[in-house]
């Protein structure tokens, strides 16, 4: 399994200016609820991504508030109106202070 916080963002290979694109993301994280125990009976504390912030260029375009109800290794897909060439950045924060960042450049195919 990938180390905690390893993240990937995927956008289409060829993007036209003004197009609404689909953005896929995944981050490696256990998303422990705090309700389970180990095989030895020790409780596993809650450990989960609670906040995701999406920035396109300088502007925040969305943020998500999560609980441990999101499945292990969280995926989220959303859309973006690609109207400028700028980096798309996602920052995931967990309840233990872990902060994980990943970026991808939105650039257009030349006509």
Partner 1 sequence: MRDRRTFLRSFAAGVAGLIAGRSERLLAATGVATGPEDPEVPNEEVARILKGLFGDRPIRRGHVDLDMPIVAEDGRVVPVIIESDLPMTPDHYVTGVHLIVDHNPDPHLAAFHLTPELGQVSLSTRIKMKRSTWVRAILETNTGEVWADYAKVLVTLNGCG
Quick check: 66 binds partner 1 (CB under 8 A)? yes
Q: Which helix (H) or strand (E) holds 99?
A: strand 99-106
Tell me, what DSSP letter sits at residue 8? Answer: E
Quick check: 88 binds partner 1 (CB under 8 A)? no
Query: Phi/psi at 79 (nearest 5 deg)?
Result: -110, 165
CA distance 104 to 111: 21
Quick check: 60 binds partner 1 (CB under 8 A)? yes
Listing from the earlier edge strand, what are the strands of the sheet with 86-94?
A: 49-56, 86-94, 99-106
Output 60 or 85, the one with its CB closest to partner 1. 60
Indicate which single residue of 13, 59, 97, 105 sits in contact with partner 1 (rule: CB under 8 A).
59
- Using the contact rule CB under 8 A, the part of the chain among 1-9, 56-64, 96-104 near partner 1 is 56-64
Report the alpha-carbon angle 74-76-81, nearest 5.
155
Quick check: 65 binds partner 1 (CB under 8 A)? yes
- Using the contact rule CB under 8 A, the part of the chain among 7-15, 31-39, 90-98, 102-110 near partner 1 is 31-39
Binding residues for partner 1, per CB under 8 A? 20, 22, 33, 35-36, 56, 59-72, 74-81
């Amino acid at each position: 399994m990938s180390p905690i916080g390893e993240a990937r963002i995927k956008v289409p290979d060829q993007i036209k200016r003004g197009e609404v694109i689909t953005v896929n993301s995944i981050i490696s994280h256990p998303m422990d609820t705090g309700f389970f125990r180990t095989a030895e009976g020790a409780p596993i504390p809650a450990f989960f991504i609670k906040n995701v912030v999406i920035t396109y260029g300088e502007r925040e375009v969305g943020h998500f508030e999560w609980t441990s109800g999101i499945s292990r290794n969280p995926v989220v897909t959303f859309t973006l109106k690609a109207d400028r060439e700028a980096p798309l950045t996602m920052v995931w924060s967990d309840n233990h202070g872990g902060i994980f960042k990943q970026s991808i450049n939105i650039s257009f195919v030349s006509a």
